[in-house]
């Protein structure tokens, strides 16, 4: 991320990053924000060739790790104290709980 910016943008002329991490907006299936975060971005990222991306969903207390397999993503769900498995960063030592509770007092 770029310091001072609320979000970083992926532009078409940029090479695909090794990893994208998204914190999803609150919502349920059928809501505009939910559909954008869970459906549209998945398609956009696959088309860009982004090999791994994470969806962090504080509302549902889940971290999804999506890895590109051909034209679509394989999804793994992580909750609680389950260690997150990242193909891009195999030595990563984080749990879903640690990510979801980061910054809370």
Q: Could you report the per-residue pLDDT of 27-59, keeping only the tens digit for each?
A: 888 888 888 888 899 999 999 999 999 999 999
Return the pLDDT at 8. 53
At residue 102, the 3 state secondary structure works out as coil
Cα–Cα distance, 62 to 59 (Å, whole number): 8
Cα–Cα distance, 52 to 44 (Å, whole number): 13
CATH class of 20-101: alpha beta
Q: What is the mean pLDDT of residues 63-75?
A: 95
Whether pLDDT at 9 is above 70: no
The answer to whether the predicted template modeling score (pTM) of the entire model surpasses 0.85 is no
Whether pLDDT at 61 is above 80: yes
């Amino acid at each position: 991320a770029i310091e001072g910016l609320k979000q970083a943008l992926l532009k078409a002329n940029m090479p695909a990053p090794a990893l994208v991490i998204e914190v999803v907006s609150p919502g349920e299936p059928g809501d505009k924000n939910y559909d954008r975060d869970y459906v549209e971005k998945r398609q956009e990222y696959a088309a860009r060739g982004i090999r791994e991306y994470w969806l962090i969903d504080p509302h549902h207390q889940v971290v999804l790790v999506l890895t590109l397999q051909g034209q679509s993503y394989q999804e793994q769900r992580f909750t609680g104290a389950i260690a997150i498995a990242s193909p891009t960063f195999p030595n990563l030592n984080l749990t879903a709980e640690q990510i979801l509770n980061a910054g809370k007092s």
